[in-house]
Amino acid sequence: MGSPPPKLNVLELFCGIGGMHWALTESGVEFEVKAAVDINTVTNSIYRTNFPKLNLLQREIKSLTTEEFVKLQADVILMSPPCQPFTRVGLKKDIEDDRTNAFIATLRLIETCHRQAHVISYILVENVKGFEESSTRDVLIETLNKCDYVYQEFLLTPLQFSIPNSRLRYYCIAKHKSEGNNFIFAHQPEVMLGIPSAAQPTLLSKHSYIDIENLTSNLTGQEMTAALDSDERIAPLAQYLLPNSTDYILSSEAMEYYQGLDIRKPSSRNSCCFTKRYGRFHVGSGSCLSTGSHLEDGREEVRFFTPDEISNLMCFPQLKFPENISRRQRYSALGNSLNVYVVANLIRLMVSK
């Protein structure tokens, strides 16, 4: 990994169910989360179940003051702000969407700390594909430049790490110039579509890194699906599935959408991105799985992936849900989260010297 940093004090914003915290754990970097902040009561209850002793603040992120910020003595800010202003199924109001306010307020806070000589050494931002073309992204980059950071933007999918899920996401890693004027690879002004070869030795070995051509193509297209299913470098879905999931079989009413469903088999080596709408909207919210049986009309019997299976595909090592969290809430919380393994590798890449 190169030379690891000393123990890092981390502030986790828009913490959701704790994807960034799990990624820190998986990264092998020594850290302490000084505080995690989110306003969502459901995801906070999931976070608290998994990290009961952590300083979890249920409050508006934009209410954080400079004094509070400095008192936490954070070296690292990890954040996954709301994606709805940029998602393809949303209104794409971008910076005009009120849900960007907390993120913009955080950037202003970083700028204030910079003026007061309180240095945040590292910043990592995750969001949906499309963020890289937004005005909100422009404010992020303007802030990083103004506050003396070097940074690199990426579009990455778990498929590149041999994980059979096409959750293509935007990432930006930033390092203050007091920590060095570059990463362990040469900075590129454009968004990178892969991990540069010079940085690949830093990657974790649990999953092999692979190059995938036409990464940003329509991953649900038949040609791309066939190409991915024939790529034996990607693990089959069977490795992520659990037994006894008969209560997740689609109802006869749901099967009316059969022609529009993205149906995979345990041998498949890809699945569509699971969104917070999964389990309620049958088309465009994530893949379904063939049970291997057929209905009387000859169609395949299909079921939803369970929340635990989606958790496996997102590389949560042992995510626990409170018993009072419904199936719908579990799907929604996972749909708003991130792939732990991808972020763990970006954390390693960000802090390596």
Q: Where are the domains of the chain?
A: 8-211+338-351, 222-335
User: The domain 8-211+338-351 is classified under which CATH number: 3.40.50.150, 1.10.10.60, 1.10.3720.10, 3.40.50.2000?
Assistant: 3.40.50.150
**CA angle in degrees (0–180, nearest 5) for 143-148-154:** 65
Strands 169-176 vs 122-128: parallel, antiparallel or unpaired = antiparallel
Closest CA to 326 of 47, 32, 45: 45
Instruction: Render each residue's pLDDT in the chain as its tens digit; 353 residues.
Output: 555 567 899 999 999 999 999 999 999 999 999 999 999 999 999 999 999 999 999 999 989 998 998 899 899 999 998 876 566 555 566 666 667 788 999 999 999 988 888 889 999 999 999 889 888 899 999 999 999 999 999 999 999 999 999 999 999 999 999 998 899 999 999 999 999 999 999 999 999 999 876 555 544 467 777 778 888 999 999 999 998 778 899 988 888 888 889 999 999 999 999 999 998 887 889 999 999 999 888 899 999 999 999 999 999 999 999 999 999 999 999 999 999 999 999 999 999 98
Positive or negative: CA dihedral 248, 319, 173, 160: negative
3-state helix, strand, coil in the chain (%, to 5): 35, 15, 45
Closest CA to 338 of 168, 152, 123: 168
Class of domain 222-335: alpha beta
Query: From the candidates 15, 83, 172, 315, which is the catalytic residue?
Result: 83
Which residue stretches of the chain are H helix? 19-27, 41-50, 66-71, 101-115, 135-146, 222-229, 307-313, 327-335, 340-351
83 an active-site residue?
yes
Closest CA to 79 of 35, 139, 48: 35
